[in-house]
Amino acid sequence: MKLTTKGRSKDICDFRVGDTAEISWLVTDKEIAAFAELSGDHNPLHIDKSFANSVGFKDCVVHGYLLGSKLSALLGMHLPGKRCLIVEQKLAYPEPAYVGDTLNYRVNVININASMRVIELKVSVTKSNKDPDQRNTVARGKVICKILS
């Protein structure tokens, strides 16, 4: 089931194991530059294509926390929504993401603890314009969210 919950306020009893939500994001140079400025992370791997090429990447690599910030948008605006407080997250980045990639974010409710008002979600971020010779997953992991009353 794909949820469209933007703007709705859901309580813990409204969630079911298997609920999912998705968003897509086209990575741009402008957002990478803005994130580098905001975070202070000006590592040349993220902002200097020549450097990124010299260490084996085809282009500048998207910051991991920029990928995570888009996940925050999915969690806070869609599933679980505006009552969500992220209390724990674990993300892995098995493949790089680059400018021009369209990334598809998907969260899936895998566990609910109603008495503690927490839900656990599986996270997957994949490229939709992938090279058939490369792996598709750029981030994966789990997030635990407290549902505020």
pLDDT tens-digit profile, the chain (149 residues): 344 444 467 899 999 999 999 999 999 999 999 999 999 999 999 999 999 999 999 999 999 999 999 999 999 999 999 999 999 999 999 999 999 999 999 999 999 999 999 999 999 999 986 565 555 899 999 999 999 98
**pTM summary value:** 0.88
The answer to whether the beta carbons of residues 32 and 44 sit under 8 Å apart is no
The answer to whether the beta carbons of residues 134 and 80 sit under 8 Å apart is no
For 140, residues 6+ apart whose C-beta sits below 8 A from its C-beta are: 91, 92, 94, 123, 124, 125
4: alpha, beta or left? (left if phi > 0; alpha if psi -120 to 50): beta
For 31, phi then psi, to 5°, come to -70, -35
